[in-house]
Structure 1
């Protein structure tokens, strides 16, 4: 029904988006907006970007519309119970009260249309997993890891048909699983983390260290398609590392399926072949090799659909 809408918000390392989303997981036409974030932004600038997208989405509410809940997916780590976020790629925000900020904006601009709508904050990787389980590649699967491979690498878990956020909200953070055979320094302070090896920016940085002259993940993908040896090695390296991490996580929680989205995951379909090789070469147990790894079916709307699932599929939380 048009009155039963979720306000969905996705905060990441390069952008923040908001949209109204219905009970079928469809974004309401004209309600989606985006503003940049990024490591160079101040705290006030980041807050202004959040305010801009939230107010824009609320302005698109139809005359008969009501917001039944607000879902926020945020890059981690987070402190779920306190509503605080500390995205690694947004250094101006450490223990920032994002839940409080969004609640204030919503009630300031649409108090009569949101009533007592709950505001729910979860890590973005968990939202991606919810989206795939709800309307994407993981429908009907009970034990799922959803992954985002982009500016960073995030993840979330559904086990036994229910989300597993953990006591702080950071369970499923596969980007900070250490990968055997790698020692790359990570922004989190660790070494050999999957994000430090296989994210888009880190793959670009590694390729440049080998003499490649491009600067972006998009250019790396173009060079890969053109047969450039360094670009092909960089994406192979990323895929094999992702596969090793997936194999390790599967050994721990017996995954059935991993759905992978995010901008860098679409650099080339070959990435999934490299992931498969990474799993098979480094997983000695048969039950770990049975895991299926598939692309997201939701492209770039997945994070918003997942944030809306915090409202529309709250039964899985």
Structure 2
């Protein structure tokens, strides 16, 4: 019945989600485990195998033609390995080989989580109908992915579009990646909150010091909270404009937890973009919120598997 069916894994520092997905992007079967992120690599792999085990007992499993993995990175699709920053037990971990073994040799396609979300937004979400797009995940970190010429562009290792580590402030703070003044160092949720706190913002009675709490304060007109989001918006605008100038995208999609701040982020971002995206061919660049929500990683991993399996992109 379901001839074009694929399996998908979405692997992050908090959860490992799995699904069987049809060729229209509908999730038919789900499984999930918490990521034992601080355990050794084999313990993390056992959680992946448990998720796969739940999928393989479904009667639909025999129709699955391939499996797509969207993983926290860095990933190396050319080697089939992953080294997620927030899963220290996995360094150059042979995830593709292990997943293939656990699924009886199913073809496996590995991409970074930012690329997976991009695939989902282009196939089913906010970038649908756009041939050249940048999709960003602004959360604990800042990731992203590219669609160029109507096709997902993961690059040789599966990390292309990683806008979080474009430097937008040459004399800026050192970033965990080893560079300085990266988009992520300025625009990620923890950095928005840190900057607001350092400049005198204080949480309410609940003690919530998250970027969401800073966003709520900014919505209520707190000038320090507003300024922290404006600085984040400026960094994002500079990174988006650089990307647009380099590869001619016509839409930037903003997702992730910080993206949910809405106009507190998007209004200053669109304004700052007019300062950076000044050349004629980038002036019509649209900035829109993501639409796919929490299933984006799974749907995007499925899109990559479908594209590989059919050798033609649904994305």
Give the TM-score, by structure 1 length.
0.88
Query: What is the CA–CA distance in structure 2 between the aligned matches of 1:310 and 1:94, rounded to whole Å?
Result: 23
Matching of residue 174 in structure 1 with residue 168 in structure 2: no
Change (3 A) 1:184 1:41: farther
Query: Structure 2: which 5+ runs fail to align?
Result: none
The answer for the alignment partner of 1:48 in structure 2 is: 46
Q: What number of residue pairs does the alignment pair up?
A: 306
Alignment pair present for 1:194 and 2:191: no
Alignment of 1:15-26 (within 5 A): 15-26=15-26
Distance 1:63 1:167 in 2: 32
1:35 aligns with 2:29: no
Post-superposition Cα deviations, 1:269-306, rounded to whole Å, max 9, x if no partner, equal 33111221221112221222221111112111111110
Between the aligned partners of 2:36 and 2:240, the Cα distance in structure 1 is: 29
**Contact residue 74 and residue 159 of structure 2 kept, 8 A:** yes
Cα distance between partner residues in 2 of 1:257 and 1:202: 25
Whole-Å Cα distance in 1 between the matches of residues 275 and 117 of structure 2? 27
The within-5 A match list for 1:196-235 is 196-211=185-200, 212-213=202-203, 214-235=208-229
Aligned to 2:148: 159
Cα offset, 1:209, TM superposition: 2.1
Is 1:269 the counterpart of 2:266? The answer is: no
Does 1:132 pair with 2:99? no
Q: Quick one: distance in 1 between partners of 2:144 and 2:102?
A: 28
- Of 51, 55, 58, 1:57 maps to 55
Q: Distance in 1 between matches of 2:248 and 2:161?
A: 13
C-alpha displacement at 1:63, in angstroms?
A: 5.6
CA contact 2:81–2:94 (8 Å) conserved in 1: yes
> Could you tell me whether the CA contact under 8 Å between 2:218 and 2:264 is conserved in 1?
no
Supply the distance in 2 between the matched residues of 1:283 and 1:90 (Cα, whole angstroms). Answer: 36
Show CA shifts across 1:126-181 (max 9, x none).
21121112111122211111211112111111111122222322211111111136
Q: After alignment, is 118-127 or 178-187 more displaced?
A: 178-187
Q: Distance in 1 between matches of 2:110 and 2:130?
A: 24
In the alignment, what sits opposite 1:110? none
* Aligned counterparts of 2:59 and 2:23: Cα–Cα separation in 1: 15
Q: Which residue of the partner structure matches residue 117 of structure 1?
A: 106
Is the Cα–Cα contact under 8 Å of residues 146 and 155 in structure 1 kept in the other structure? yes
- Are residue 149 (structure 1) and residue 138 (structure 2) matched? yes
Give CA deviations for 1:4-47 in whole Å, capped at 9, x if unaligned.
42211112233322111111101115x14242355x44434432
Residue equivalent to 1:113: none
Contiguous gaps of at least 5 residues in structure 1: 108-115
Q: Which moved further from structure 2: 9-18 or 207-216?
A: 207-216
Q: TM-score, normalised by structure 2?
A: 0.88
Are residues 167 and 311 of structure 1, via their aligned partners in 2, closer, same or farther at CA, if it must alter by over 3 Å?
closer
Please tell me whether the aligned partners of residues 4 and 65 of structure 1 are also in contact (alpha carbons under 8 angstroms).
Answer: no
Question: 1:184-215 CA distances to partner (integer Å, 9 max, x unpaired)?
Answer: 22221111111111111222222232233433
> Structure 1 residues 268, 137: closer, same or farther in 2, change over 3 A?
closer
Residues 68 and 93 (structure 1), Cα distance of their counterparts in 2 relative to 1, 3 Å cut: same
